[in-house]
Structure 1
Amino acid sequence: MGLTSNKVLCVAVAFAVLLFIGTVWLWPRLARRNWRAVGGRVGLMLGTQVALFASVGLAANQAFGFYASWADLFGQEKDQGVVVNHTALGGSGGPLEVLNTAGVRGAGDSAPEVGGEIQKVDIVGRTTHIATPAYVYLPPEYFQARYRARTFPATVVLTGYPGTAEALVSKLHYPRTAQELAKDGRMQPMILVMLRPTVAPPRDTECVDVPGGPQTETFFAKDLPDALVAHYRMGRKPGSWGIIGDSTGGYCALKLAMHHPRSYAAAAGLSPYYKAPVDPTTGDLFRGNKALRNRADLWWCLNHLRAPDTSLLVTSSRIGESNYKATLKFIGRVQATKLTRISSIILESGGHNFNTWRREIPATLQWISGRLSDR
């Protein structure tokens, strides 16, 4: 049974309940002062607490998508994402392979021309050789005969770290929200490409081209758009692409649009931060390269580089988000550039979690849709 399985959660909860009942039932028998009774009491209390914490942890992981598997949880997932096989250069499958398809939950009809379609794909970067899974949402119009010659704007959607791409579909409801907004005429039909920025698990590369390591920034700026445009009817011009992310994904989204405005015409960071951290999850990202470290610092970019011709959206909460003051400061810095355009969503309260981001996603999709063209 997988880490995110409902069966695992049910078993953990049932075990915790049984241990609690057993503790209450057996406690009078363990009231003596000999070592066996004391050991029994300690064992029951410890077992009950471990079972309780395990249940809470499993429930939180299901809600927020921190870890995708047991291997991911225990750091046993060592694949650096550089496998090149059936989708390798020159292979018949190209850099993108569709693994399976599914309808959009809640769309009300299984036909893709009515409810849209979600495709699970594998993508291999032609230049970076980074391989990663993703989910691609195709709107109903993509399958309709009257739009068969039309290209569609596209938006890349990134999770936080560690995150799971599936959570963007099942927890944050990006496809369903996009389908409903387009149906109501509040945004144009748009393709969504949903994946996590952790393309070299378990390492958090912060979307940096790591010296001697994964070239993550190049993958998102060049390889990913190239692979998708070659497979889908997506706009090819710079104004056709946007990028959205939460937390780590939000930092990545802002950085990619600022560094590569010809790749991403607009970017939205939901609860982002503005400088790449260096910690045990990232390892040594810069290998002593000061220029690379500066480039990963959005504050330094605003102060020392030419302002990019792109549109940015940042979100925060007055109560519940630690980035609130930094976000206000970032808005002011961008406004001072005169060229880069900045918008914001500031909630009265809301933590760093899925519930907060679900409240921001509809407005974010509408905002980014209004800044992309379909050519």
Structure 2
Amino acid sequence: MNSVSLLTGVLPAVLLILGGLSLVGLAAGRPRHLLVVVPLAAMTAAVITFILFLMAEPVFHWWNASFPRMLYVYAGLGILAVILAVLRIRRVDAAWDRFLAVTAASLALTAVAVTVNAAYAQYPTLESLISPPRPVDEALPTRDPASAAGLPATTEANWTAPPGMPSEGKVYSAEIPGSTSGYASNSALVYLPPAYLASPAAVNLPVLVLIHGQPGSPNDWLVGGQLLDMMDSFAAKHQGLAPVVVMPDASNADNTNWPLCLDSDISSSATYLAVDVPSWVRQHLAAGLSGGSQWAVAGYSYGGTCALQLAANYPDTYPTFIDIAGESEPTVTQGTDSLINTYFGGDKSRFTAQNALDRLAAQSFPDSAGIIAVGADDSVYTPEGRQVYEAARAAGMQVTLQVLPGGHSWQVWQAGLANNLDWLGRRLGILGS
């Protein structure tokens, strides 16, 4: 992958400097401009930014409450640059002067985009922005489960990479139907490691199901999560072996009401993720054939909450989980009462019957193990992660709480998976203990 970072180093520094200088240039002018126009423009920008804050958080809840407050300051400066550029364009006649004003405003807005990207690490490199990773334009290589009949699952102990094995895995697009659940789904993504693609191929590899955040899609694991590089690096250390990674669509085909990874009036998304997806994987990829010991679920933010829900509701299917910056329970912006009305017809007992914290309080999970990863600077989700950790430990799960550097961003989400691949490999049986 292109090594030009968009998070640290020369390029983001240069863009920030150019943006700052552009704003100074737009503010420069005669005394009346400096003493009257710029202050009025600044007040207007502040008002617009405050309205943006009200719409984004208290009113429409466009993003979570841990959105870094400093980014509103940068957004305000970008708005100020646009206002000053518009005023300058209206005041001058020369095409060159207008071009300079538009360029200056564009550079200022680019600097704002750099700060937002630095906060969330959505695009870690220049290539991830310009040419983001995508699934290959090839048919998914399927495998009949009968091909694994009578053969032991491939592990590092019994596998020798054959000559000509690919050095890298591939990501494919796949349609996973809701055969049992009736769940409507957008395309999923599937990562197949080099050992799966080898000839002869590894047999009955374990499976990792990854859930994306909200808003988001499976492709976010490729871009911000750098999944292809992550899994290929793991495979390179283990003779091409790695879990098959399945990234299903958690949005219920872009349903206005995302399904929360629960079975509800909106959709049976829990059944889809815990029944339909595993069944499809076993039937089409001949992976995870040995039962729950070969299966794990992980996710970040919304997906972390999903991973917890699935681990608590389907411990035989997903006895291994990684909850990265998830909530303590599913929520909607309008509150718990609205959630229960929308998803469960007002019947709270239907919610509590599936809610992970309620299930953890009611029964024991001695065969389950999980990692709960949170960001040191995430003031919203870290306390909830600690609550989940205490509840899971009290329920007999073998759980570890990890506090990672960063906030509610890919800095934490990516590391929460990458740092625990060896642990996953041991839990799933592909690596020695």
Find the partner of 1:304 among 354, 362, 369.
362
Taking a change above 3 Å as real, the CA distance of residues 56 and 125 of structure 1, as seen in their structure-2 partners, is farther
Distance 2:32 2:390 in 1: 67
Q: Which runs of 5+ in 1 are unaligned?
A: 1-5, 7-12, 67-97, 103-110
- Aligned partner of 1:131 among 181, 185, 195: 185
Question: How far has the Cα of 1:134 moved from its partner?
Answer: 1.9
User: 2:411 corresponds to which residue?
Assistant: 355
Distance 2:222 2:410 in 1: 12
Residues in 1 aligned to 2:308 and 2:364: alpha-carbon distance in whole angstroms: 15
Structure number with greater Rg is: 2
What does residue range 239-278 of structure 1 map to in structure 2 within 5 Å?
239-278=293-332
- Contact 1:158/1:195 (8 A) holds in 2: yes
Counterpart residue number, 1:88: none
Shift in Å, 1:254: 1.3
The answer to whether the 8 Å contact 1:100/1:121 transfers is: no
- Aligned residue runs from structure 1 range 163-182, under 5 A: 163-182=216-235
Contact residue 195 and residue 241 of structure 2 kept, 8 A = no
- Does structure 2 conserve the Cα–Cα contact (< 8 Å) formed by 1:295 and 1:301? yes
User: How far off its partner does 1:239 sit?
Assistant: 1.5
Equivalent pairs, count: 320
Residue 345 (1) aligns with residue 402 (2): yes
Helix, strand or coil at the partner of 2:187: strand
Of stretches 323-332 and 249-258 in structure 1, the one that deviates more from structure 2 is 323-332
Query: In the alignment, is residue 47 of structure 1 matched against residue 82 of structure 2?
Result: yes
User: Is the 1:245–1:269 Cα contact (8 Å) retained in structure 2?
Assistant: yes
2:137 alignment counterpart = 100
| 1:56 and 2:112 matched | yes
**Counterpart residue type for residue 312 of structure 2:** M
Code of the residue aligned with 2:423 in structure 1: it is W
Query: CA shift at 1:140, angstroms?
Result: 0.4
Match status 1:229 vs 2:301: no
The equivalent residue for 2:50 is none
Q: Residue type of the partner of 2:411?
A: N
Pairwise CA distance, 1:277 = 1.0
| Corresponding position of 1:287 | 345
CA distance in 2 between counterparts of 1:244 and 1:275 reads 15
Aligned residue in 2 for 1:23 = 26
Deviation at 1:129, TM superposition (A): 3.8
- Distance in 2 between residues matched to 1:153 and 1:228, nearest whole Å: 10
Q: Which amino acid aligns with 2:344?
A: F
Residue 117 of structure 1: which of 170, 176, 197 is its match? 170
Which blocks of at least 5 consecutive residues in structure 2 are unaligned? 1-5, 7-15, 46-78, 85-104, 124-134, 140-163
**142 and 336 in structure 1: CA distance in 2 versus 1, 3 angstrom threshold:** same
Counterparts of 1:135 and 1:248 in 2: how far apart (Å)? 18
2:233 is paired with a residue whose SS is: helix
- C-alpha distance in structure 2 between counterparts of 1:325 and 1:60, whole Å: 24
For residues 99-149 of structure 1, the C-alpha deviation after alignment (integer angstroms, 9 at most, x for no partner) is 8249xxxxxxxx97221111122322112142222221110001112325x
Identity %: 20
Residue by residue, what CA displacement relative to the aligned partner does 1:183-222 show, whole Å, maximum 9, x if unpaired? 22399521111245222424332112221x2221111111
Shift of residue 22 of structure 1? Answer: 7.4
Task: Evaluate the alpha carbon distance shift between residue 183 and residue 278 of structure 1 in structure 2; reply closer, same or farther with a 3 A threshold.
Answer: same
Task: Give the AA of the match of 1:270.
Answer: I
How far apart are residue 161 of structure 1 and its match?
Answer: 0.9
- Give the secondary-structure state (helix, strand or coil) at the position aligned to 2:401: strand
Shift of 1:177: 1.3
- Secondary structure class of the residue paired with 2:175: strand
Q: In 1, distance between residues paired with 2:219 and 2:115?
A: 16
Classify 1:206/1:21 alpha carbon distance in 2 versus 1 (closer, same or farther; 3 Å).
same
The structure-2 alpha-carbon separation of the partners of 1:300 and 1:32, relative to structure 1 and needing over 3 Å to count, comes to closer
Aligned-partner Cα distance in 2 for 1:334–1:216: 23
User: CA shift at 1:342, angstroms?
Assistant: 1.5
Q: Distance in 2 between matches of 1:26 and 1:285?
A: 58
CA contact (8 A) 1:130 1:219 kept: no
Identify the residue that residue 372 of structure 1 maps to in structure 2.
428
Instruction: Tell me how far 1:361 sits from its aligned partner.
Output: 2.2
The separation in 1 between residues aligned to 2:230 and 2:372, in whole angstroms, is: 19
Q: Which moved more, 1:298-307 or 1:277-286?
A: 277-286
Give, in angstroms, the shift of residue 268 of structure 1: 0.4
2:427 match: secondary structure:
coil
Task: Note the alpha carbon deviations across 1:227-265, whole angstroms, 9 max, x for none.
Answer: 222221312222221111011101100110111122213
- The code of the aligned residue for 2:427 comes to R
Coordinate RMSD, CA, aligned: 4.0
Task: Go from structure 1 to structure 2 and tell me whether the alpha carbon gap of 1:47 and 1:317 turns closer, same or farther (over 3 Å shift).
Answer: closer
- Read off the aligned partner of 2:414 and give its amino acid letter: R
Structure 1 residue identity aligned to 2:417: I
Q: Give the TM-score of the pair, scaled to structure 2.
A: 0.62
Q: For the Cα contact (< 8 Å) 1:248–1:272, is it kept in 2?
A: yes
Alpha-carbon distance in 2 for matches of 1:32, 1:300: 61
- Secondary structure of the corresponding residue to residue 345 of structure 1: strand
By how many angstroms is 1:266 displaced?
0.6
How far apart, in 2, do the equivalents of 1:372 and 1:257 lie? 15
